[in-house]
Amino acid sequence: MSPKHSAELFPGASSAEVRRYDGKQSLYECAVDMLAQEVPVAFEYNGISHATLLASPCDLEDLALGFSLTEGILRTSADLHDVEIVETPQGMIARMIIASACFAQLKQRRRTLAGRTGCGLCGVENLEDVVRPLPPVSPPRSSVNAAAICRAAGQLRALQPLHRETGATHAAAWADMSGSLIHVREDVGRHNAMDKLIGLMLHRRRQADTSAGFAVISSRASFEIVQKAAAAGMACVAAVSAPTHYAVQLADELGVMLIGFTRGETFTVYSHPEYLG
């Protein structure tokens, strides 16, 4: 049976008629389920298309800014002069006006990519370009308390309304040094959730203090998560699942304390344990 989708009832979600089987009845039960929306989102800079990704169609201004910063298209949030989110039958478009110096650099990057064979990563054509050169992150202003990390991770699920409705999204959150969650963003993609969080924290010309807290993510920690955190100046990332070897290696090089398996009162530190208090 093909599910019949309704109009959006919850931001980032749609309802669908489904059939459920519980293993005990011979008849399938008719029910209504909530599904996470996943739409194409295209990024345009000064009228030129650069990249398209699949994302949850909410908090797209945060996503546009966060993606542009962590991918090195913008130097700071002040380089984004304007962003307009446009809905089309094919998906969403984030039309951005950026500083002329950033646009010139972007055009140069596009010229160097012309005619090459890609490796499949967004905007990346050479394996050497997968990991961008980034300066090491400054250590946190004060030691990170173990109890604060556990507290923050324990709060995360309750602050994921889209996941509660659909069960199909990830979250990235920012906690202060006491472990209280200050900002949370959700998306079907874990990297998008991190970009949305960074975009929210560094919104336009308001710079956030990323030295006085840590990030918590509801997924595994891939190298892209570490790279985006380092680009935003985050010195600590705690994941509820496992990191990859590449992520640990990059975190060690960039001065990021990477934590995995943050569940209950336990976690595992993979890099820079000296940041723990």
Active site members: 119
Helix (H, G, I), strand (E, B) or coil at 263: strand
Confirm if 219 and 241 have CB atoms less than 8 A apart.
Answer: yes
For 236, the enclosing helix (H) or strand (E) is: strand 236-239
SS3 content of the chain, % helix, strand, coil (to 5): 30, 30, 35
- Spatial distance between the Cα atoms of 179 and 6, rounded to a whole number of angstroms: 39
Cite the beta strand spans of 46-149 per DSSP E: 48-55, 80-88, 91-98
Helix (H) or strand (E) holding 167, with range, is none
CB within 8 A of 164, min separation 6: which ones?
A: none
The DSSP bridge partners found for residue 260 are 268
Q: Is 49 exposed, middle or buried (0-12, 13-18, 19+ CB in 10 A)?
A: exposed
Q: Both tokens of residue 49?
A: 């298309």
Please answer whether residues 215 and 200 qualify as being in contact, where contact means their C-beta atoms are separated by less than 8 angstroms: no
C-alpha–C-alpha distance, residues 135 and 141, integer Å: 17
> Encoding tokens for residue 178?
């006491």
**CA 26 to chain centroid:** 42
Helix-helix angle 190-201:223-231, to 10 degrees: 10
